[in-house]
Structure 1
Amino acid sequence: MFCSTELAARIERAETDLISTGSARASERLGGAGFTIPLAGGVAACVEPGSPLNKVAGLGFDGVPSTAELGDLEKRYAAAATPVQVELAHLADPSLAELLTERGYRLVNFENVLGLSLSAGIDAVTPAGVEVRPSDDAEFDLWLDLVADGFAHPDTQGVASHEEFPRDIIATAMRDLTAAGGVQRYVATRDGQVAGGASLRLSDGIAQLTGAATAPAHRRHGVQSALLSARLAIAVDAGCDIAVITTQPGSKSQQNAQRRGFALLYTRAILVLG
């Protein structure tokens, strides 16, 4: 699957919208604390110390921020005692990387964006004994426990992430993202027992696979495959033409996605000021 700059821009707009809605919801929860600032087609978000939503995303596809805009933004992050972290797609305007490095931003890691074309439909994967269903508000805490535990125990294969988040911080961020609307929740059961949870967001024809986890006792029984297959089928029915997932380079998550037919579209460089 080929990724043009136009497709990368479309995916980054969906990511920008996800971060914007989640951080705006967090600000409401915190009584107006933090900030969510549109920036050159992307967004700069600051929620609370240690949040995974604290980032600058989507830049480099609709102009480049001025030095004055960056200076003001850096002061706001400093006042919030939060590092400025930019997630920059390698297909973005190259002048932006030059501008950031000149200002003292340093490269700390990478993450990969993978995509799957949905135009030809999806072959369903239904392992024996595993069923996937929508998860309603009545079992939100159960779903949150499953997914937060999965994020709190990331892959050990491949390139390690440069940051780790406590389980309670992850749970709070996931709660903000789902409360903001647009994120659909699903639960997988195996032999009648809750075995895993996952989420999906549909935006501008893009199916964002925004998280999935399997309970340890149910791993290696096809739960992840079933959750992925079900969400892809829902995306096809909704008229989406592409599904995307973000992984650490060389991780088990990337390996599993590529086995399912996902292709590496582009890489984001993680740049931090100072």
Structure 2
Amino acid sequence: MMLFCDISLAARIERAETRLIADSSDASRARRGDTLGFALPYAGGVASFAEPDSPLNKVAGLGFEGVPSPADVDRVERAYAACGAPIQVELSTLADPAVGDLLTGRGYRLVSFENVLGRTLDGFQGEPPPPGVQVRRSGDEEFGPWVDLVVDAFGHADNQGVPSHEDFPRAVVENAIRDMAATGAWRLLALRDGAFAGGASMRVTDGIAQLTGAATAPEHRRRGVQSALLSARLAAAASAGCDLAVVTTQPGSKSQQNAHRQGFSLLYTRAVLVRTA
């Protein structure tokens, strides 16, 4: 059954996203042992700067607890300006429209979109992986190889769908993956014929399983690895008592197609608004 998303459900998902970004940004500073950057509460959301060029540098969760005051907007814009960084706001289409009006009036420019998909987990029964593919939790002793696998595969993006407007240095991607894992995300590893073929992660927040990334090594693509990683995470989330799973994808991408095959519905889109440094 298709899942309908109302404003209340979108607010719940955006709260989970806010916590994920804030915790990951804090983990970035803990990893370095400094106080550079910030994760500032921002009208119910968060404004995060982890380190230069990081995918964790964003504003998330706006539009569900009122419109930011001019003083709040000034405070956040000064914080990014002090870091010499652009401001990227990922704004749900179910958020208060007044937020978009406020931001575009201050020079924020629409550059892209991303889709948020979800499915209920009540009674979920996953399919077995294809022959030769095994998915399991990745132990701490495999953390380094797991990170390497995910980062390497991240650099060979699928060319289906709308391309991302972002391109990150490898070292920064590796740092962000380590920081998100440090927030308590579950790590899964896929093997194909005994070889490391793919990796994925998932974080549980207030009954929501956030599928926080998955990657398949180029030589193992089109072999069911990505779908097996997705099914295994959904089964783990259902066993953990989650009632909802969500994933963010590029519009029209292979990841979105795989999610639809696993029963996900498009819940809403986020408009990506950027104000340059």
The Cα of 1:157 is off from its aligned counterpart by: 1.5
Aligned to 2:232: 230
**Is 1:123 equivalent to 2:123 in the alignment?**
no
- Choose the corresponding residue for 1:170, options 170, 173, 196: 173
Matches within 5 A, 1:95-174: 95-174=98-177
Contact 2:231 2:262 in 1 (8 A): no
Contact 1:152 1:165 in 2 (8 A): no
| Structure 2 Cα separation of the partners of residues 59 and 218 of structure 1 | 38
The Cα of 1:125 is off from its aligned counterpart by: 3.0
Contact 1:199 1:211 in 2 (8 A): yes
| Structure 1 Cα separation of the partners of residues 53 and 257 of structure 2 | 29
Structure 2 gaps, min length 5: none
Once structures 1 and 2 are overlaid, which stretch shifts more, 211-220 or 1-10? 211-220
The Cα of 1:48 is off from its aligned counterpart by: 1.2
| Structure 2 Cα separation of the partners of residues 135 and 123 of structure 1 | 19
Identity, % of aligned positions? 63
**Is 1:66 equivalent to 2:69 in the alignment?**
yes
Structure 1 gaps, min length 5: none
Contact 1:130 1:189 in 2 (8 A): yes
**Is 1:29 equivalent to 2:31 in the alignment?**
yes
| Structure 1 Cα separation of the partners of residues 6 and 227 of structure 2 | 28
Contact 2:55 2:176 in 1 (8 A): yes
The Cα of 1:145 is off from its aligned counterpart by: 1.0
The Cα of 1:155 is off from its aligned counterpart by: 2.6
- Choose the corresponding residue for 1:265, options 250, 267, 273: 267
Letter in 1 for 2:156: H
Contact 2:7 2:95 in 1 (8 A): yes
| Structure 2 Cα separation of the partners of residues 251 and 258 of structure 1 | 11
Aligned to 1:4: 6
Alpha-carbon deviations, 1:143-188, whole Å to 9, x = none?
0011112222223121111111122110011111112x32010111
Letter in 1 for 2:66: G
| Structure 2 Cα separation of the partners of residues 6 and 150 of structure 1 | 35
Letter in 2 for 1:220: R
Contact 1:52 1:165 in 2 (8 A): yes
Letter in 2 for 1:120: G
Contact 1:152 1:166 in 2 (8 A): no
Aligned to 1:187: 189
| Structure 1 Cα separation of the partners of residues 84 and 218 of structure 2 | 36
The Cα of 1:18 is off from its aligned counterpart by: 0.5
Aligned to 2:218: 216
Letter in 1 for 2:79: R
Q: CA RMSD in A?
A: 1.1
Aligned to 2:92: 89
Aligned to 1:240: 242
| Structure 2 Cα separation of the partners of residues 222 and 107 of structure 1 | 35
Pairs aligned (count): 273
The Cα of 1:262 is off from its aligned counterpart by: 0.9
2:28 partner SS: helix
| Structure 2 Cα separation of the partners of residues 127 and 29 of structure 1 | 38
| Structure 1 Cα separation of the partners of residues 226 and 24 of structure 2 | 25
The Cα of 1:229 is off from its aligned counterpart by: 1.0
